[in-house]
Amino acid sequence: MTPPRNLLIRGGRVIDPHNRRDEIADIAIKTGCIVDQPAPGAAIIDATGCIVCPGLMDIHVHLRDPGQTYKESIASGTAAATAGGFTFVACMPNTNPPLDDPELIKRVREAADRAGHCAVGPIATITKGRRGEEVTDFARLIDAGAVAFSDDGSGVENDDVMRSAFEKAAAHNTILIQHCEYRSISDGGVMHRGEVSERLGLPGLDPRSEEAMIERDIDQSRETGGRYHVAHISTARAVELVRAAKAQGLPVTTEVCPHHLLLTDEACSDAHPNTKMHPPLRTEADVTACRQGLLDGTIDCIATDHAPHTAEEKSVGFLKAPPGIVGLETAVALAAKAMITTGLADWPQLVAWFTSAPAKVLALPRTGLGVGENADITLIDPNAEWTVDPAAFASQCSNTPFSGWKLVGRPMGTLHKGRLQPADWSLDQRYGMTDN
């Protein structure tokens, strides 16, 4: 791999939540680190009009590798992450085989290093084989590089198994990320149970399946001291449960996806499989509660739940199609549409939801843009107008309900370990980059 170039990012709006900066400034980079003065001959990136911020983080993606590389691979998924402005992603373990073995964790990390697009933190399974019966060996998985534990795609329903997991999480100072769903309550539902599902004649998924598991898990977190994170929160009641837990000082966090900030179950009215996701799109009241939860700190961060499925898999109709959508390449602009265009938030808040906040959830080093820090950086044009074109995605899949949407705000590129991404940037592309 070629060494990183010496660079000067000139004249951008530096938004760095970790170091509490929001100012027009230059960022000098030498041999992959931020320095106080540009190196002689450094290439210049004209960032006028752009936001320069720490590399974005997504703590909930599906890279489908191993076992489902016809949908996505670590190479293609991290390329999609780079296209979306991310320099770190945490990948879920519902692969084939599941990430329940230290050797598999190591392989994911090694494949990400070979691809070189962005950093990848593998999330290991809570239970062996994701069967919900026996807790995995947390110590060995952490030693191999696991950053968290989840059976995502399935909730751990057995109370005793989940309690054992919480006790291990507390002992090893790690975090459990729960897909909150009791299948006995969700009962085969394919969309939110409500007026729209009744009108369409589709099986409804009861929101209590999410909320009841959150209630049980918060109780167990209280009793064990184990850290707990609610994946892809989607209901107003769920938000209130997390808010109450935080008010009690419990180690409880949560995330929300851009689609749950923008779409309601009305988007399923034409029963297009690209509007089928899990948890499902909810009501306007739920969307409002998720937005408010972000604003008041109940919801810690934004994550995509990037879930690639092939066109063939999504072509079998709403009932049978797998749930999930791709999200890495649209996340920033959709979050901006939900929170900034509406006047609810500003760019510093949005940057924090994608940087310092997810790092805090996983207890990862919260790097910023200070001198001596690694040059993991994202550049965003907040005024870029663009139209979502799934055919142009770097992801291998294009399952999105946002095709054709006109959006404002777009990541223009990243630096990972001081190296420009995408790697084929030429000096006259993107920012008018020139040799000094």
Please tell me the distance from the alpha carbon of residue 236 to that of residue 241, in angstroms, as a whole number. 9
CA–CA gap between residue 87 and residue 78 (Å, rounded) = 9
Q: Does residue 395 come out as left (phi exceeding 0), alpha (psi in the -120 to 50 range) or beta?
A: beta
Instruction: Indicate which residue of 305, 381, 428, 435 is catalytic.
Output: 305
Task: Give the Cα separation of 365 and 361 in Å (integer).
Answer: 11
Q: Is 431 exposed, middle or buried (0-12, 13-18, 19+ CB in 10 A)?
A: buried
Whole-number Å distance between alpha carbons of 61 and 40: 40
Is 305 a residue of the active site?
yes
Quick one: which of 328, 281, 268, 266 has its CA closest to 302? 328
CB neighbourhood size of 307 (10 A): 26
Long-range contacts of 348-351 (CB under 8 A, 24+ apart): 348/15, 348/17, 348/22, 350/302, 351/15, 351/17, 351/51, 351/53, 351/54
Q: Please tell me the distance from the alpha carbon of residue 89 to that of residue 109, in angstroms, as a whole number.
A: 11
Q: How far apart are CA 122 and CA 119, in angstroms?
A: 10
Are the beta carbons of 298 and 238 closer than 8 angstroms?
no
Contacts of 136 (CB under 8 A, 6+ apart): 100, 124, 125, 126, 127, 128, 149
* Total count of residues recorded for the chain: 436
Just list the catalytic residues.
305
